[in-house]
Amino acid sequence: MNPSDKNKLKSYTRRATLLSGGMLLLSSALVGRMYYLQVTSRSQYELLADRNRISMRLLAPKRGEILDRFGRPIATSTTDYRVNVIPEETKELQETLKTLGEYIPISDRDNQRITKAAAKQRSFLPISVANNLDWETFSNVNVNMPDLPGIQPDVGTSRYYPERELAAHLVGYVGSVSEEELTGDPLLELPEFKIGKNGIEKVLDDKLRGSAGNTKVEVNVLGRVIRELSRQDSIPGDVTSLTIDLEIQKFAANRVHDESAAIVVMNIHSGELLAVASTPSFDPNDFHNGISQKKWDGLRGDIRKPLINKAVSGQYSPGSTFKMMVALAGLEEGIITADDTKYCNSQYRIGNRIAHCWNKNGHGRINVVQALAQSCDVYFYDLALEVGIDKIHDMAARFGLGNRFDIGIMSEAKGINPNEEWKLGAQGVRWQGGDTANAGIGQGFVSTTPLQLVVMAARLVNGGKSVQPKIFLDDNEPKTVVPDIGINPAHLRTVLQGMDDVYNHPRGTAFPYRIRNKDYKLGGKTGTTQVRRISVAERQEGVRKNEEKEWIERDHALFVGYGPVENPKYAVSVLVEHGGGGSSVASPVARDVLEYILDKEKADTEIGSTV
């Protein structure tokens, strides 16, 4: 081999070696990378691949029921027959909706909603067409499925209020989750998921909501479900039992169903609320899928305010139902005794003005029991000025006035239990003697709720125990001793005698409306509050009767009652907005409600004893 050939061979060998080395280096890098991907990082990429293949989906829980004290449903969940449409499975969306419209009414508004959703979301995702279908309609859709490509019948649950308006203010309602209510909880992002919007539904939403379940499904690259791999069922929400007795609630609401009114019934020993009724009311079922604008405008425009729970949110001058607080303050301070008398000639001078008693002929000389029974204004003008507003305020506070009980009912108002400090802070002016006189008959700055008034009545007749109202029934709750308010029992008996005489003495303001032909008696106190001040000119001309006035100008009628007089057990407060007189309007309502409860209790006892 000549030198030239030797040089060529060496050059070729060197290039081959370099090339082979390069290939070996690349092969080593490739093998190393494959080792890294398949061995070192295997678990990480297995997880990523699995996430691409496996989809976790939430299962909405069934909302917990709300029951009355005997287990009767107030809010429950019912089977909801629904129809959805999957756009990609239809030949033409509008054609499918037109055919479906032969079996289910589809409004133009719904059609627009469905079309808009189909344009925004992925085509294989279902869109709700109709909810809450009856079985016949749902079955008809299922039978005609061959003619309805893309239609997907579905069965879920829907919130239902079987008593409709009966306890709407108390229980509230549910509705769809708004953007402002999203908290990051994925459960809230489910299309058909509802949360509490008002009432107990909102107060206990976390407990009633339950816990989501999940299902693990295999999906393709488009996200379409191929098969279910595993499932963990959701946990239903807690069942909540209320102290309410639906039968008593129904009787109370029906008794004033044509009025703008509120009735609260309470066990004076346990504090359990047996009825919290406010009329007129609304149907919470209307809010589940979105109330129509027409209904909403009708509710908001109703002068009787059906959306407001008057029993706990309404604040009203208590009128003469407040006189027991003034009487007790006077007795406790030793300013009067049960036998001391004052003279009423129907007029009482307060500074430069003359205040009048409701009885234009006056009551003559009367003691505190007679003043309560006959509701003498002049007596309590004078007594209030002797006692002073601060002492009256302190006594009223001990009986629950001006306090929020925070028992789980939404929008509970505090009311106003005024004193000198309150007026200076609220209005920047000093308290006047005329303010005290007005407070003496439960008007002026004093305002209360029907819930506060029933608590006041309960504490008066249960021996001066500071019982607290309660709305949730808990059989496992430990029994506790109710603290004593610290009122002299003799003074309580004096006030209760006046309340007894309201119904049962011939000169009592509610005597014509007492219970008759029964083996028990009721007690109570009437109250009538003006909604506007009567001018001197009007008084001289003669004040028009309530029935002659426009409804909005009529007096509010109030009453607090209890029964039976011997061994009392129940207290009731009644408010009838613009109803007129407390004696003629509110006291018959209280009588009928208490009579119903006591007769019902007697009948239940007799049935139980024969079983």
364-367 and 273-279 beta bridge pairing: unpaired
Q: What is the pLDDT of residue 385?
A: 97
Mean pLDDT of 67-96: 89
Element spanning 433, H or E: helix 433-440
Per-residue DSSP letter, 506: T
Please say if the pLDDT value at position 215 is more than 60.
yes
Report DSSP state, residue 156.
Answer: E
The two three-digit tokens of residue 460, written as one number: 């008066």
What HEC string does 363-427 produce? CEEEEHHHHHHHCCHHHHHHHHHHHCHHHHHHHHHHCCCCCCCCCCCCCCCCCECCCHHHHHHHH
Gap between the Cα atoms of 469 and 370, Å rounded: 30
Q: Tell me how crowded residue 2 is: count the other CB atoms within 10 A of its CB.
A: 7
Specify the pLDDT at position 306. Answer: 94
Q: Name which of 480, 327, 478, 476 is nearest 468 in CA terms.
A: 480
pLDDT at 539 (0 to 100): 43
| Distance between CA atoms of residues 237 and 502, nearest Å | 48
Which residues does 584 contact at the CB level (< 8 Å), separation at least 6? Answer: 513, 557
The dihedrals phi and psi of 345, each to the nearest 5 degrees, come to: -110, 15
Confidence of residue 59 (pLDDT cuts 50, 70, 90): confident
Least confident of 101-105, 128-132, 334-338: 128-132
| CB within 8 Å of 461: residues ≥ 6 apart | 268, 496, 499, 523, 562, 568, 571
Q: Which residues pair with 66 in a beta bridge?
A: 75, 240
**Measured distance CA(538)–CA(554) in Å, rounded:** 15
Per residue in 499-551, pLDDT (tens digit) is 999 999 999 999 999 998 889 999 999 999 987 655 444 444 444 565 667 87
Which stretches within 227-308 are classed as H helix? 246-255, 293-301
Query: What residues are paired with 489 via a beta bridge?
Result: none
The tens digit of pLDDT for each residue in 376-390 reads 999 999 999 999 999
Instruction: State the DSSP H helix or E strand holding residue 461, giving kind and residue range, or none if neither.
Output: helix 450-461
Q: And the tokens for 54?
A: 């496996």
The closest of 451, 70, 458 to 247, measured between CA atoms, is 70
- Residue 368 makes CB contacts below 8 A (sequence gap 6+) with 327, 330, 331, 336, 338, 340, 379, 383, 494, 495, 498
H or E stretch covering 277: strand 273-279
Report the range of poorest mean pLDDT among 66-75, 95-104, 421-430, 583-592. 95-104
Assess whether pLDDT exceeds 70 at residue 18: no
pLDDT at 81: 85
Positive or negative, the Cα torsion across 446, 267, 406, 177?
A: negative
Spatial separation of the C-alpha atoms in residues 92 and 70, rounded to whole Å: 53
Q: Read out DSSP for 183-206?
A: -S-GGGGSTT-EEEEEHHHHHTHH
**Stronger pLDDT, 30 or 514, i.e. the higher one:** 514
Q: How confident is the model at residue 60 (pLDDT cuts 50, 70, 90)?
A: confident
Q: Is the CA virtual torsion 510, 511, 513, 515 positive or negative?
A: positive
Only one residue has tokens 């890098």, namely 29
How far apart, in Å, are the Cα atoms of 448 and each of 293, 336, 454? Answer: 33, 26, 10
Q: Is the pTM of this model over 0.95?
A: no
If DSSP codes are grouped into helix, strand and coil, which group holds residue 134? coil
Please give the single-letter amino acid code of residue 33: R
Please, which pLDDT band fits residue 477 given cuts at 50, 70 and 90? confident
pLDDT at 46 exceeding the cut of 60: no
The confidence score (pLDDT) of residue 41 equals 60
Q: How many CB atoms lie within 10 A of CB 337?
A: 13
Q: pLDDT by residue (tens digit) across 405-447? A: 999 999 999 999 999 999 999 999 999 999 999 999 999 999 9
Rounded-to-integer distance, Cα 597 and Cα 570, Å: 9
Residue 261's H or E segment, with its range, is strand 261-267
- C-alpha 505/C-alpha 511 separation (Å) is 6
**Mean predicted confidence (pLDDT) in 558-562:** 97
User: Cβ(447)–Cβ(414) under 8 Å?
Assistant: no
Q: Which two tokens stand for residue 373?
A: 């029974």
What phi and psi, each to the nearest 5 degrees, are found at residue 404?
A: -100, 135
- Round the average pLDDT of the chain to a whole number and report it: 87
Q: Looking at residue 227, what is its pLDDT? A: 77
Tokens describing residue 494: 């004096």
- According to the model, what pLDDT value does residue 47 have? 46
pLDDT for residue 48 is more than 60? no
pLDDT for res 88: 81
Q: How far is CA 50 from the centre of its chain?
A: 47
Sorted by sequence, the CB contacts under 8 Å of residue 272 that are 6+ apart come out as 69, 243, 266, 470, 473
Q: With bands split at pLDDT 50, 70 and 90, how would you rate the model's confidence at 475?
A: confident
Which of 117, 114, 91 is closest to 104 using CA atoms? 114
- In this predicted structure, the answer to whether residue 43 has a pLDDT above a threshold of 60 is no
Please report the domains of the chain, with CATH numbers, ordered by start residue: 57-241 (3.90.1310.10), 246-279+312-473+481-610 (3.40.710.10)
Closest CA to 152 of 82, 47, 48, 230: 82
Lowest mean pLDDT among 127-131, 506-510, 568-572: 127-131
Q: What is the pLDDT of residue 538?
A: 46
Residue from 563, 556, 332, 600 nearest 454 by CA: 563
Q: In angstroms, rounded to a whole number, what is the distance separating the alpha carbons of residues 211 and 365? A: 68
Bridging pattern class, strands 261-267 and 570-576: antiparallel
Distance CA 567, CA 601 (A): 14
Number of H helices, E strands in the chain: 20, 19
Alpha helices in 204-286 (DSSP H): 205-209, 246-255
Asked if 580 and 527 count as a contact pair (C-beta separation under 8 A), the reply is: no
Residue 149: band (very low, low, confident or very high) from pLDDT cuts 50, 70, 90: confident
* Band of pLDDT at residue 491, cut at 50, 70 and 90: very high
Angle between helix 450-461 and 323-332 (nearest 10): 40
The three-state secondary structure class of 116 is: helix
* CB contact burial 120-147 (16+ within 10 A = b; e otherwise): eeeeeebbbbbbbbeeebbeebeeeeee
CA 260 to chain centre: 18
- What pLDDT, in 10s, does the model give residues 150-195? 888 877 788 999 999 999 999 999 988 887 887 877 778 766 788 9
Give the per-residue pLDDT at 534. Answer: 54
Rg of the chain on CA atoms, in Å: 37
